[in-house]
A and B are shown apart, each in its own frame.
Chain A
Amino acid sequence: MISVPTSSRASAARTNPLRRVMTHTITFRILSVITVLGAWEYAGRRPISASFPSFSETFAAGWEMAADGSLSAALMITIVPLVIGITMSAIAGVAAGIYMGLDRRAEWVGVPVFIVMQAAPLAALIPLLVLAYGVGLATKVTVVCIMAVPAIVLNSFKAIRHAPVSLVEMGESFLGSREQVIGKIILPAASPVIFAGLRLGLASGFIGVILAELLISPTGIGDLITYHQSIAEYPKMFAAIAVVILLSVLFMEALERIEITLFRPEKRAQ
């Protein structure tokens, strides 16, 4: 029988607790947030501009809007079209990308369309959409989709097309059917890039919904931003912007969690 040196067996690092806390990624994240907020506070107090509030003023303004209910009302208006649009784009976009990655003819027909879509300044289309759909929910959802779909489709496509050849060959040599090779090898191998595409799509979708609210109908978070800007309530305006950023980060984080739970057990183990 064969033996492997036991020294290479992984042994849990038994370092002292303080050291563990100091080297943990959460610690670094908190430190980085504190640094950014500190710099914001400093810049706001100097002040670098009369319309630039400090972090504490912004936080207080945000608290006030949360307390009087205007924030949650606006959030609901913004989140509904965003979630609908992103869900639709994710399902249709990933499916289309995977299909084009597996089928050459679909690639020839489809990929150029999405490359054009990605390159075009789609914000310019928004007035047209208003003509077609009015200023309601449908328009916002459409804007989110138009913004989010190209990144999702093209990344899914690339992810499938660049699935490692040697793994596919391995699956074939061990007699995997085409379905097994796709399901057990190509899709899991493609998942990191597909999810990277979803994150990009999500970020673009966010831009889309805010843009729609700024350009088309002053509603939701977009309205909070424009309204408070127009009455020079800068802390409230910045609070609304900060909420958008926070929301975007939370969505990203949720996506990453989904990815790791579904496809990447080896990252969970780390």
Chain B
Amino acid sequence: MTATVVHAPGFQRSLGTMVSVRSVSKVYPGGVEALNEISLDFPKGQLTTLLGPSGCGKTTLLKIIAGLLPATSGEVMVDGMRVEGPGPERAFVFQDFALLPWATVLRNVAFGLELRGVPVAERESIAEHYIGQVGLKGFEKHYPHALSGGMRQRVGLARALAVKAEVVLMDEPFSAVDEQTRRKFQEDMLELIKNEQKTFIFVTHSIEEAVYVSNRIILLSRRPSRVMRIIEPDMPRGITPDQIRRHPAYLDAVEMIWQALKQYLD
């Protein structure tokens, strides 16, 4: 039987670190203190989930890692390099999809490459590959308004994969889709992660989702955010999704996180 490992906040894993957040604080103009001296390491090739109460600063942290938002103090290192802004080794999957409504699925998926000046033929063939990977073959010429929420998010994911970034940052990618689509998408994502060998940083509200897809889960406290606990749900792979959802390790991890987060409900 596999066990769920719990670490104290200061724990450092020996595995190569891809993204390292060092005493990052963020105070928004107007005085809202979203993050307070937060330090975190994200291991290479793994999926790490940020989980915490609403408004605790998860999106803020993700955008700082993405280089879309400057930190008030502290620094973020990606593969040993200090983050000064967006970079080619990081790609973002947006919660609201952020697809261009006037562009086809093909152009949307290829858009990151278009901005980098990759020639049309080349970027379209790369985009077609990833459109196939996320299961949207046949929809290349469709416009976003003709797609369901789940399909739009697949386009957003394909766009992030197409630029071949080593770090994929995902802000609640499933929050806008229904439960069935969500489960299907989670399973698909596990499949993709196995093949892609990338570092994924994932934000979610759903405890079950976190335990289901992550190698490690970072529990954040209420604003200003601190690391409360790091959990590594060591789920046996290679069993069916339904078996995972009934596995003691899965249920234990879900229960443990629920107990930890319950204190924030009042």
Contact = CB atoms under 8 A, between A and B. Distances in A.
Interface of A: 1-4, 8-10, 164, 166-167, 169-177, 180, 184-185, 188, 263-266, 269
Given A3-B135, A264-B102, A171 B115 contact: yes
B103 to A, nearest CB: 8
Interface of B: 66-68, 86-88, 90-92, 94, 96, 98, 100-102, 104, 111-112, 114-116, 132-136, 138-139, 142-146, 148, 151, 154, 159, 163, 188, 191-192
Contacts of B94: 166, 169-170
B191 A175 contact: no
A4 B86 CA distance: 32
A1 B132 contact: yes
Contact of B92 (A2, A164, A173, A184): A173
B88 A175 contact: yes
Contact of A4 (B98, B111, B151): B151
Contacts of B144: 266
A4 B100 contact: no
Given A171-B115, A172-B68, 17 more contacts: A1-B135, A2-B133, A2-B154, A9-B138, A167-B100, A169-B68, A173-B90, A174-B92, A174-B112, A174-B116, A175-B116, A177-B115, A180-B115, A263-B102, A265-B143, A266-B102, A269-B143
Contacts, number: 79
Contacts of B188: 2
A175 B112 CA distance: 8
A242 B209 CA distance: 64
B101 A266 contact: yes
B100 A174 contact: no
Nearest to A265: B102
A265 B114 CA distance: 18
A263 B100 CA distance: 12
Nearest to B117: A180
B86 A266 contact: no
A175 to B, nearest CB: 6
Contacts of A180: 115
Nearest to A181: B115
B136 A4 contact: yes
A4 B157 CA distance: 15
B66 A173 contact: yes
Contact of B98 (A2, A169, A176, A265): A169
Nearest to B108: A170
Closest 8 A/B residue pairs (Cβ): A2-B135, A170-B98, A266-B143, A174-B112, A176-B115, A2-B188, A173-B92, A166-B98
Contacts of A170: 92, 94, 98
Contacts of B159: 174
A184 B98 contact: no
Contact of A1 (B67, B86, B87, B133): B133
Given A10-B142, A167-B100, A173 B68 contact: yes
29 contacts: A1-B133, A4-B135, A4-B139, A4-B151, A4-B154, A8-B148, A9-B138, A166-B96, A167-B98, A169-B94, A170-B92, A170-B94, A173-B66, A173-B67, A173-B68, A173-B90, A174-B91, A174-B92, A174-B111, A174-B115, A174-B163, A175-B88, A175-B115, A175-B116, A177-B115, A184-B114, A185-B100, A266-B144, A269-B143
A170 B68 CA distance: 9
